[in-house]
Structure 1
Amino acid sequence: MLFPQLEQLATPEVISLPETASVQSALKLMKEHNIRALVVLGSRGYRLLQAKDLVSFHLQGIDFSVPLAQVHLPKALQLSPQASVEEAIQLIGVNQVEQVCLVDEEEVLRGIVSYTDLVQSLDPELLAESQSLGELLRGVQVLQVNKEMPARVAFSLMQQQEVSTALISEEGVPLGIITQTDVIRLLDAGQDLARPIEEIMSSPVFTLAANISIQEALIAIKDKNFKRLVVVDESGRVVGLISQQDLVSIYYNQWFGLLKEKHEELSRRNQELQQQNQLLSLVLDEITHAVLVVETENRVLFSNQAAEQLLGYSRTALQQNTLNRILAGSAQSAVLNEFYERLKLGLKASLECNLLLTSGTSQPLQVKARPLLAGEAPLVLVAFSVLSEKTEMLAG
């Protein structure tokens, strides 16, 4: 599997505002476009305003009419549009954010990539993970609050625990959920955050059974286009939350692991082939006759020193050549065609020819060939002997 470059996954039309715009303008724009983060443009470079920042400003009592330049905003994570998915996963994971901006060499913003974009690019059929959701989430704590808790207190707890979601539950059974999207909606509507959380929570809650596989969870989260899903046990009690971030990390970590194994296996096999090739070259050099080993399309794979001396080619030049080119014009077309046809059929073949050498002289030669290995990539041993010599290497 080849992972796409980030520019192939990115949302090219980035929602942004200048730092001279107010926090309130940013809030309304985020609500209008149903987004949880917005890029702020200004003298400090690209900054990112997230839903959790709006909660923090509200809890601090910051007036939303102030310009964005006057509030603290983190610098947006940046990568090249040609960067790999692996780089984005690592950068987002280390910094615990959900977006990365794509900025070209001229510092122009070309797009933004979120976990939602990454999830939509995944193919569940390629995820060979049999672990269940319950096993994955074992021991993971979820922020759960009771339905009478004031919304302001619930938001404060989310801020303190640095989570983007709070579950409203009763005896472990999920009743509703509050996410960053809800926060934007409530702040934009000017809702009274002293109200009980049950009056403003999103309900009912879409849940997944703890015994389903991670592959099934990925299918569900793609189909529903949710940022996260609540996982429950057989009695309907909360086991945990599975997010897009969790699934993306599992998916790519598995593939990175498989690619690493394949790379190590390929390196090992290449090393074995190199050793075999060195051994074969040593054996061929001990043969006094000029010998070539050719493969598919008669391309020269190996040669010995005697062949190099007779034909006047270096070993590198021979391995960039084909038997067809070496023998071209050395015999009648009908004779050459019959020779090659027999080789294609896996039969022994021979011919006598007057070979034009690289020195400009011609040499009467006998050429004998016999199959070494059959199959999709057959190998053929070709031996050259000067006609004045009676020695024949490939008798019969």
Structure 2
Amino acid sequence: MTQHIHDTRPTATGPLAGLRVVEMGQLIAGPFCGQILGDLGAEVIKLEQPGSGDPMRVWGRSLPQGESMWWSVVGRNKQSVTVDLRTPEGQDIAKRLIAESDIVVENFRPGTLERWGMSYEELSAVNPALVLTRVSGFGQTGPYSSRAGYGAIGEAMGGLRYVVGDLSTPPSRMGISIGDTLAALFAALGTLGAVYERTRSGRGQVVDSAIYEAVLGVMESIVPEWVISNYQRERSGAILPNVAPSNVYPTKDGAWILIAANQDTVFGRLAQAMGQPELATDERFSTHGARGERQQELDRIVAEFTIEHESKELEELLLEHAVPVGKIYRPVDMLEDEQFIARRSIIETEHPVFGSVPMQNTFPRLSRTDGSVRWPGPRLGEHTTDVLTRLGGFDDDAIVRFTENGII
């Protein structure tokens, strides 16, 4: 166990500086909520199982040193405290820390906290202002609440998987854990709402974020479209049906470029850039509806134009005509892009194993009290002694006893 010297940690400057969060749970949905709150300046104390910790420590792409680069992101700005929450002593430690905190974030299966003697009623009895943020697959109530909930299942039930991909293939998934991160974003939003309401009532409350509902929440108008007009959105690959031209188009140098020119005035500017201004007044393409009806035909015409140009040349030409355009970026493109550089969208932070690690900055930006990345994901148990002494009130003898008994 390594004692972390509290005074050496960079000071948080974000809008949540002064709030303390106890993060329990693992993997993505709960920890990403904790990451957001930490990015915004909150002090985040992450409780992890001794000896193993959050599985995110080994998920994703790892280097030979055994360190996960994903953990360096999702664990950033957090203090790692090892404590066995399955033991009465570990539960007592957690309760002491929670009594001194503003927010608890957890993503265990519903009922777990209750079995550990940490229901909201029990926790709020000693900390009435506590906000308990609970992230799960199906929420804390309803017939499915006790099921194990994973992001992939929430994406399927929330309607996202059905509309991702191409009709020629089975429903696809995004290349990221979007269901978990959406639930975490809604959880963070609900947490901030509860903290704000607390300034009026002085009381905390439970924030209940379900993965399937978070996915459903961003699914636009698919439900009323089905109920009212019997319209079922289908998988459509790189396009939205009847929205044209808005697609990914090939270029002479083998790159792909996205052009979004479906609005009437923008399409007129695209037609000018293509050297075919007559397209804008051609009755086949002159209105949004007409272009949608002839989407494939119009996409072929645009592709015949783009394939004749190098991607950089094409991008410059379309920008001159104020046509929304963008390359399909990979990390190498992001690192070289002047917009990313100017806004510091990617920053570097020092890591004890990797050295300087680039990662996404904190978003959104605040003009006066912006968030910050103060350190990457910490070593397992790095802050146990510091936190238990500073906040839990435990002395050295207690720390030694807990360690010998495997509690921490």
TM-score (norm 2): 0.20
Structure with the greater relative contact order (CA < 8 A, sep ≥ 6): 1 or 2? Answer: 2
Which structure has more strand as a fraction of its residues? 1
TM-score (norm 1): 0.20
Please say which structure displays the higher CA radius of gyration. Answer: 1
